[in-house]
């Protein structure tokens, strides 16, 4: 019999704030974290807006001499982990170190470091490249730094499955605890790709919104006038524990994780299949894993990126999963407020789903002004709503046709 797994900590950092409480408060207020880009000069760029983490001071989480040795995605991951670990009242002591693991994902890793060091190479030759370049940029070093900082000696890994990466990290961590390979997992993801190459690359694909004059209204999932996603940065970190261990140490239990699904589209490098088959199968897999009926789910935190194709296809897939219940379920895309955190999105949105269950509050999809006939579900438009929720599903879909779905249950001790 596999073990029950609960969530005891959530750490959130994104364009809506630094810290779980601030992010959650701003989500429920329906605020947008999207502004004009300040990280670099956007002259000549088609897209000049993003969900930047503003006023982030890495000195709160790393010593000055360490900061240039770690990419921004690692700095933000350390911050989000601090919030999650504090919420969980977790102290990793030597006697439990081997049973505490870290599994923190990123889609791209240290893009800022790669660009900086490449510029040094072009200007001054290979002798100018920092000896810390590689460990500052590679994806698993967020997990590495967190493990070192907290003394966590259990499983240590990182996924790099594009925009599904941190949802896979949470789901894989759930499995590790279920199967007895760890008692506690610090898991999720982080991304900081608001750089010239990051923004320029997505813009070259015509994937980004160009509503540059109205940044706060640019991310508009499921709206008829959506024109692409808005890139965001940040991190979402969860502390997962076996129920037995969490209860033994008196940890605060926020929710239970009960289901995890994975699927592949086997269709196209960037576009989902028109019928949404991969999205349908991944939701179905998570529901099957939890051994519940689709009708028991009250809320879906949608992948909902604000792309014309993706939102319509996800809606189609939800109708197929939930059949007549689809019209009764509440669906929202918090990317309308945070932007799209790429590899960090699934961790952030898993955390948001847990808080929605804890507080029985549904964060809205803002900028829902012009209904799209193809997107005709209840997207919790523009205003937070109280609800009686037992289960929340969080969707994440990535380039290459990689999909993840996580299912959380409201905590009660019975």
Of 109, 185, 106, the residue nearest 147 (C-alpha): 185
**Residue 400 CB-half CA count within 13 A:** 12
Q: Which of 14, 187, 303, 375 is catalytic?
A: 303
> What DSSP letter does each residue of 4-70 carry, written as one string?
PEEEEEEEEEETTEESHHHHHHHHHTT----EE--SS--TT-S--EEB--TT--GGGTS-HHHHTTS
Q: Which of 47, 168, 340, 375 is catalytic?
A: 340
Of 322, 336, 230, 320, the residue nearest 274 (C-alpha): 320
How big is the CA angle at 331 (ends 29 and 393), to the nearest 5 degrees?
A: 105
What's the CA gap between 87 and 9, in Å, rounded?
Answer: 5
Annotation marks residue 325 as catalytic? no
Distant-in-sequence, close-in-space partners of 413: CB < 8 Å, separation ≥ 6: none
Q: Which of 14, 163, 187, 375 is catalytic?
A: 163
Annotation marks residue 118 as catalytic? no
Residue 374: both structure tokens together: 């193809």
Of 381, 405, 280, the residue nearest 333 (C-alpha): 381
What's the CA gap between 84 and 142, in Å, rounded?
Answer: 15
Q: In this structure, are residues 142 and 13 in contact, taking their beta carbons and an 8 Å threshold? A: no
What's the CA gap between 29 and 276, in Å, rounded?
Answer: 32
Residue 217: both structure tokens together: 């209204």
What's the CA gap between 380 and 383, in Å, rounded?
Answer: 7
Q: Compute CA 320 distance to the chain's CA centroid, rounded to the nearest angstrom.
A: 24
Annotation marks residue 303 as catalytic? yes
Q: Which H or E element spans position 361?
A: strand 361-362
Which residues are catalytically annotated?
A: 163, 303, 340
């Amino acid at each position: 019999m596999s073990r029950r797994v609960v969530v005891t900590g959530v750490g959130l950092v994104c364009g809506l704030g630094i810290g779980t409480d601030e992010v959650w408060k701003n989500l429920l207020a329906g605020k947008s974290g999207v502004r004009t880009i300040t990280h670099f000069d956007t002259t000549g760029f088609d897209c000049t807006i993003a969900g930047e983490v503003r006023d982030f001071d890495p000195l709160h989480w790393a010593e000055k001499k360490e900061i240039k040795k770690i990419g921004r995605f690692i700095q933000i991951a350390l911050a989000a982990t601090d919030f999650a670990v504090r919420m969980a009242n977790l102290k990793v002591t030597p006697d439990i170190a081997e049973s505490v693991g870290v599994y923190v994902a990123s889609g791209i890793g240290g893009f800022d470091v790669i660009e900086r060091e490449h510029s040094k190479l072009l200007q001054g030759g290979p002798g100018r490249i920092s000896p810390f370049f590689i460990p500052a940029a590679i994806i698993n070093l967020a997990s590495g730094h967190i493990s070192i900082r907290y003394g966590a000696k259990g499983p240590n890994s990182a996924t790099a499955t594009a925009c599904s990466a941190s949802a896979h990290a949470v789901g894989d961590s759930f499995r590790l605890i279920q199967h007895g390979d760890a008692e506690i997992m610090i898991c999720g993801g982080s991304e900081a790709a608001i750089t010239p190459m990051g923004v320029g690359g997505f813009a070259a694909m015509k994937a980004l919104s160009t509503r540059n004059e109205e940044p706060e209204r640019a991310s508009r999932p499921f709206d008829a006038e959506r024109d692409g996603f808005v890139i965001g940065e940040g991190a979402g970190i969860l502390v997962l524990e076996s129920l037995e261990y969490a209860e033994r140490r008196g940890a605060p239990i926020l929710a239970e994780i009960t289901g995890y699904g994975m699927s592949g589209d086997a269709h196209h490098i960037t576009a989902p299949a028109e019928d949404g088959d991969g999205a349908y199968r991944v939701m179905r897999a998570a529901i099957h894993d939890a051994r519940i009926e689709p009708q028991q789910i009250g809320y879906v935190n949608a992948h909902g990126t604000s792309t014309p194709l993706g939102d319509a296809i996800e809606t189609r897939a939800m109708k197929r999963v939930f059949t007549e219940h689809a019209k009764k379920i509440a669906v929202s895309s918090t990317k309308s407020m945070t932007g799209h955190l790429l590899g960090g999105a699934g961790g952030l949105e898993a955390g948001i789903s847990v808080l929605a269950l804890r507080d029985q509050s549904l964060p809205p999809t803002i900028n829902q002004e012009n209904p799209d006939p193809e997107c005709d579900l209840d997207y919790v438009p523009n205003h937070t709503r109280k609800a009686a929720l037992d289960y929340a599903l969080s969707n994440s879909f990535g380039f290459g046709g990689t999909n993840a779905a996580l299912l959380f249950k409201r905590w009660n001790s019975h």
